[in-house]
Each structure stands twice: as structure tokens, then as C-alpha cells.
Structure 1
Amino acid sequence: MRRWLDGLYSASAWVAGLSMIGVLAMVLLTIVSRLFGFHAPGSDAYAGYAMAGAGFMALASTLKAGEHIRVTLLLGALKGGAHKALEVACLVIATLLSGFLAFYSARLVWQSWEIDDISVGIDATPLWIPQIFMALGTLVFFIAFCDELVLELRGQRKPRDIEDAHHE
């Protein structure tokens, strides 16, 4: 199971990276189109879709790498059981919030698909297509928080910073 989860986080990070390359490609296309006098309709919108996809698809791998911003002032002051209890409480809250985010992101994709919602720009893209990256990214983010919570409860979660390491 660990290999599968790590593979999922890695795949999500790769999709985020490819999305960033998509942003670069769209920006370069816009620049080249202006230099050579041709029109590239929708390139701004697609750059935006790719940027959003990159952000959402990178959430889980960033969490698993310990790179999300954490406010450790209170955690750093606690030791032993109090530290663990607060860590578990924070992970439970984050898991619930990320679950709601994933649910409502998926619901948005479904509603956009159901009503055939399209972008208002010249590209007229069916919105469920770029929105699916948000839904997938938040789903993988939710899975990553579930993973972190289970690891914490089992005492297998690795410390993310010096303050956490002092409380092990």
C-alpha cells in the first residue's frame, strides 16, 4: 500500500510539473504569436487552466514532502502527549476540510458536465475539463491527509522540522 500511495503522490507531482510546462508553452505561444502577427485564441485561458492544474496537482506531494507552511509556535511549546494530541487534532481537522474540498470540487466538475458549462472566452472550453485537475488534485490531497493521520496515530509519521524532532 505504501508503494501505491507514494506512486500516487509522485504521479500527481509529475502532472503538476507537466502543467507548469503547459503554462510555459502557452505563454511562449502568446509571445511568438505577437511577434509573428498571428492570433492564438484562448492561449491565455489555457495558461490559466494549466496554472490552476499545477497548483492543485502539487498539493499532495508538497504535503508529503513537509513543505506546506505550518505554524509551529504552539506545537513547539508542547511536549509528549499534549503535542501528539494537538498534532492529531490538527490532522483530523485538515483531513475533514480537505475531504470537503475534494467532495465539492468533484461536485463542481459533475455540475459543469451536466449543464454543459463552457468558458466565456473565445476558446469556449467545456469547463469540466480544466476543473477535473482541481478535483483530482484535491482528492489526492485528501488521501495524503488521511495517510498522514494514520501514520501519526500509528506513531510512524516522520518529524517535519526541528521542533517536531525534539518532541519524538
Structure 2
Amino acid sequence: MRMIRKLLDAIYLGAGVLAAVCLVAILIIIVVQMVARWTGTVFPGAASYAGYAMAGASFLAFANALNRGAHIRVSILLNALSAGPKRLLEIWCFGLAAAIACYFTYYAYWFVFWSWKFKEVSQDQDATLLWMPQSVMVVGGAILSIALIDNLVSVIFKGNHRITRDLVDQSFGE
């Protein structure tokens, strides 16, 4: 069981690192595009590549952000409830979120499949095969689905979720 936990945590962290790499790629693309304009050359498809990296950064970061408490959760209601109803509400919320994420991932897969089958290309100058950047959406959605199911199972069997909070110390010089 510890090996599965380490594997899942490594997947979440790896996806978060890849999301950060996508953010750095956006920066590099923008800088290269600026240099290209200054020198009078053209960087075909720069806006598309930056868009693909933005989508990659978003979808790959979902699971890592969830487990680090970066997603918005309405905890006012949860904090007002006693342990029993709170657990039932968390099971409901994680179950519903996992079902929606799995539904999204399923249909995103078929979206990518048909893009691959029909060899759809970007309408920009780069003419990128669209299934390649769209695949990141499926991978990120699948990792988020796994993270939500992981938290759901944790709430059901252990009574608490795996979401941590990165709190900033509020004691300014005390």
C-alpha cells in the first residue's frame, strides 16, 4: 500500500513539475517572439504554442493543486458541521467531483481520438496536429480523476481527505 501511495504522490508531483515547465515554456516562447519581432524575423505559430503550453500548465497542475489545498473549497459549511454529516458531505463532494472529472476525461479522450483519426491540424501557420496538444488535456484530466478518487477513498476508509494546506506564518516578528 505504501508503494501505491508513493507512486500516486510521485504522479501528482510530476504533473505539477510538468505544469511549471509549461509556464517556463510560455515565458521562453514570448521572449523568443519578442526577439523575433525586434530582429524583423517571424516565429510562426508562437501564439498557438503559447496557448498549448497554457492549456498544459492548467490541466497538469489540477491534481497537484488539489492535494496542496490550492483549489477553492467552501469550508464554512464543512466547519459548521459535526463529524458525521461533515464526512457524508465530503464523500458526496469528492464523489460528484470524481464523477465529473471521469466524465470529462472520457469525452476528452474521444475528442483527441477523432482529432487523431481525421488528422486535424491547427489553422495557424504552424499546422500542428491537434491531437498532440489536446492529449495533455486527457492526461491532466485523468490525473485529476485519480486524485479525486484517491481523496474519496481516503475519506470513506480513513475518515479524512489528503488535502494539505500550505499556510503562511502570520506572526510578523512576534
Alignment TM-score, normalising by the size of structure 2: 0.89
Identical pairs, percent = 35
Q: What is the aligned partner in structure 2 of residue 35 from structure 1? A: 38
Work out whether residues 22 and 56 of structure 2, in 8 Å CA contact, stay in contact via their aligned partners in 1: yes
- After TM superposition, the structure 1 = structure 2 runs for residues 147-158 of structure 1, keeping only pairs within 5 Å, are 147-155=150-158, 156-158=160-162
Once the two structures are TM-superposed, the CA of residue 157 in structure 1 deviates from its matched residue by 2.6
Q: Distance in 1 between matches of 2:145 and 2:126?
A: 32
Alignment TM-score, normalising by the size of structure 1: 0.92
Q: What is the aligned partner in structure 2 of residue 82 from structure 1? A: 85
Structure 1: give runs of 5+ residues left out of the alignment: 162-168
AA of the residue aligned to 1:23: I
Once the two structures are TM-superposed, the CA of residue 45 in structure 1 deviates from its matched residue by 0.6
Cα RMSD (Å): 1.2
User: How many pairs align?
Assistant: 161
AA of the residue aligned to 1:100: Y
**Aligned partner of residue 9 in structure 1, secondary structure:** helix
1:125-149 deviation line (CA, Å, top 9, x unaligned): 0000100111100000000001000
Q: Distance in 2 between matches of 1:69 and 1:55?
A: 15
Which structure 1 residue ranges, 4+ long, deviate > 4 Å from structure 2? 158-161
Work out whether residues 66 and 163 of structure 2, in 8 Å CA contact, stay in contact via their aligned partners in 1: no
- After TM superposition, the structure 1 = structure 2 runs for residues 38-57 of structure 1, keeping only pairs within 5 Å, are 38-57=41-60
Residue among 1, 6, 14 paired with 1:3: 6
Deviates more, 1:101-110 or 1:51-60: 101-110
